A = this chain, B = another copy of it.
Amino acid sequence: MTVARNRSKRERILDVAEELFALHGYDGVTLRRIATSARVDVALASYHFGKKLDLFKAVFERRAAYLNESRREALQRCQREAGVEGPSVEQIIEAFLRPLELAQETGDAGWRHYLALIAYINNSPYWGPKMMSSLFDDLVLEFIDALRKALPGASDDNLYWCYNNLSGALTLTLAQTGRIDKLSGGTCRSADFQAAYDHMIPFVAAGFRQVCAPATAGAPAE
């Protein structure tokens, strides 16, 4: 099929756009730069994807379904394997984070760029509200529901604020700015997702328990 051959250039455009958008943002990348870097004519991007904004959305959506399925599967598996009381906070957070690392383990370096792009969009006051909700909110609410059950008595207020902390810690990790490398003098590497999650999981789980468990002291003053 002709489709087989064309996927080559078409996907090269997507791959390059993914990397450059993640690094420089939407306005920091020109179609010509993408085309040059993909060794492709400028007009080809427009031919395949239409407007520049459509290309941006195409990149954003390309891997979203797979990622959501992978995380939803992880959540359901941990729920299935848990007893009648349901999974622990740690297990839920683990299901939330580890698939992001598995995606990297596929050997496809593009996943790193894609996750950095998600971080860019999620942290942007302009793109964030416009693009994140439609693709990711359903799944996020499933995770929050699971956490609600694991933390009986927790108020929605506390749950959402805690999720905000989790989302922030994750976003900065996905952005891979390398700042922690410099701060730590090289002992921590922001490219090491596994190490990041190894530390993030107990950190976040303890945070949820501290804020959301009503019996213990230390809940935020109202």
- Chain A residues proximal to chain B, CB less than 8 Å: 22-28, 116, 119-120, 122-126, 128-129, 132-133, 137, 140-141, 144, 156-158, 160-173, 175-180, 182-184, 187-188, 190, 195-196, 198-211, 218-221
Contacts and interface: CB of A to CB of B under 8 A. Distances in A.
Contacts of A195: 161
Given A133-B179, A165-B199, A207-B207, 17 more contacts: A125-B176, A129-B177, A129-B178, A133-B183, A157-B188, A160-B188, A161-B196, A161-B200, A164-B169, A164-B199, A165-B200, A168-B172, A202-B210, A202-B211, A203-B208, A203-B211, A206-B218
A126 B164 contact: no
Contact of A175 (B123, B141, B198, B219): B123
Nearest to A188: B160
B165 A203 contact: yes
Nearest to A119: B123
A4 to B, nearest CB: 34
Contacts of A25: 25-28, 124, 126
A123 B171 contact: yes
Among A141, A195, A199, chain B packs the most CB atoms within 10 A around the CB of A199
Given A27-B25, A28-B126, A210 B218 contact: no
Contacts of A199: 158, 161-162, 164-165, 211, 220
A137 B210 contact: no
A211 to B, nearest CB: 5
A196 B164 contact: yes
Contact of A168 (B23, B168, B205): B168
What are the 7 closest A-B residue pairs judged by CB atoms, nearest first?
Answer: A168-B172, A206-B210, A203-B207, A128-B177, A161-B199, A168-B169, A27-B27
